[in-house]
């Protein structure tokens, strides 16, 4: 479990494919100087990964075919910046919202409106996730906890503060860019209770992203 508050940025050192998946190697300067242990959960751009190997300045994680199929990791390039957050510990302060590190889909930035250091983003809302996103509710974009400022049938908006733009990868993105989207875990259970159906995973991730 995570909070959606990014601890630091990491840098992709290597993405090595194999017949069974891939291995992602990330350089990280841990802000508290305390490196994780093998087996620890680490969110990379909002996707929960398990540290499989450690070095003095980073970690490596295995990517299963399922992870590669549901995320944008296959598009990562060496030197790309990624958002990093270690798993929440019992007793930690919860400053964002409860984030599982499960990527529900991929969204695309439709427009960016800068506003004196702030920014307002409009993003595509995949059809299968519409029942799980609500005005003033929470979403995670590439692992960053944000509040939904406005919403319609096929888009939603978020407001980004200067701190978020300066300390996460979101400040480096342009209109047309794609991000991991995770909806609020509580909304998932409400939607399930109300019987809201979901289309297939691949249809839901990419079906709404071709237009516009």
Q: Which domains does the chain have, with CATH numbers?
A: 8-86 (2.40.30.20), 105-206 (2.40.30.20)
The pLDDT of 167-177, averaged and rounded, is: 97
- How far is the C-alpha of 78 from the C-alpha of 50, rounded, in Å? 20
- Give the residue among 78, 86, 68 at the shortest CA–CA distance from 22: 68
Q: What is the CA radius of gyration of the chain?
A: 17
The pLDDT of 39-63, averaged and rounded, is: 96
> Is the pLDDT score of 10 beyond 90?
yes
The three-state secondary structure class of 159 is strand
Strands (E), the chain: 8-18, 21-27, 41-44, 47-55, 58-63, 81-86, 105-115, 118-124, 138-141, 144-151, 155-160, 178-183
Pairing assessment for the beta strands 58-63 and 21-27 based on DSSP bridges: antiparallel
Tally: H helices and E strands in the chain:
4, 12
- How far is the C-alpha of 28 from the C-alpha of 60, rounded, in Å? 11
The pLDDT of 33-61, averaged and rounded, is: 95
The pLDDT of 43-62, averaged and rounded, is: 96
> Is the pLDDT score of 208 beyond 80?
no
The answer to whether 187 and 108 have CB atoms below 8 angstroms apart is: no
Q: pLDDT tens digits for 93-133? A: 778 888 999 999 999 999 999 989 999 999 999 999 999 99
Strands (E), 127-209: 138-141, 144-151, 155-160, 178-183
CA distances from 208 to 72, 153, 168, 170 (A): 16, 11, 26, 21
The token duo for 167 is 């300390």
Give the pLDDT band (50/70/90) at residue 212: very low
Q: pLDDT tens digits for 176-199? A: 999 999 999 887 777 777 876 555
- Give the residue among 54, 10, 13 at the shortest CA–CA distance from 36: 54
In DSSP notation, 15-60 reads EEEETTEEEEEEE---TTS----TT-EEEETTEEEEEEEEETTEEE
């Amino acid at each position: 479990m995570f909070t959606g508050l990014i601890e630091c940025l990491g840098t992709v050192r290597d993405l090595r494919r194999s017949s069974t998946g891939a291995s992602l190697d990330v350089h990280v300067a841990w802000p508290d100087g305390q490196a994780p242990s093998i087996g620890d959960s680490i969110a990379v751009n909002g996707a929960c990964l398990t540290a499989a190997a450690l070095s003095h300045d980073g970690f490596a994680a295995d990517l299963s075919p399922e992870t590669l199929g549901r995320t944008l990791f296959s598009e990562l390039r060496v030197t790309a910046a990624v958002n990093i957050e270690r798993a929440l510990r019992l007793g930690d302060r919860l400053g964002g919202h409860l984030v599982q590190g499960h990527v529900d889909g991929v969204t695309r930035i439709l427009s960016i409106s800068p506003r004196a250091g702030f920014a307002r983003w409009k993003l595509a809302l995949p059809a299968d996730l519409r029942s799980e996103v609500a005005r003033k509710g929470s979403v995670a974009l590439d692992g960053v906890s944000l509040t939904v400022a406005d919403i319609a049938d096929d888009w939603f908006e978020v407001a980004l503060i200067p701190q978020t733009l300066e300390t996460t990868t979101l400040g480096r993105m342009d209109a047309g860019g794609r991000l991991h989207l995770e909806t609020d875990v509580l909304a998932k259970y409400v939607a399930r209770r109300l019987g809201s159906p979901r289309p297939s995973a691949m249809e839901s991730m990419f079906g709404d992203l071709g237009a516009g």
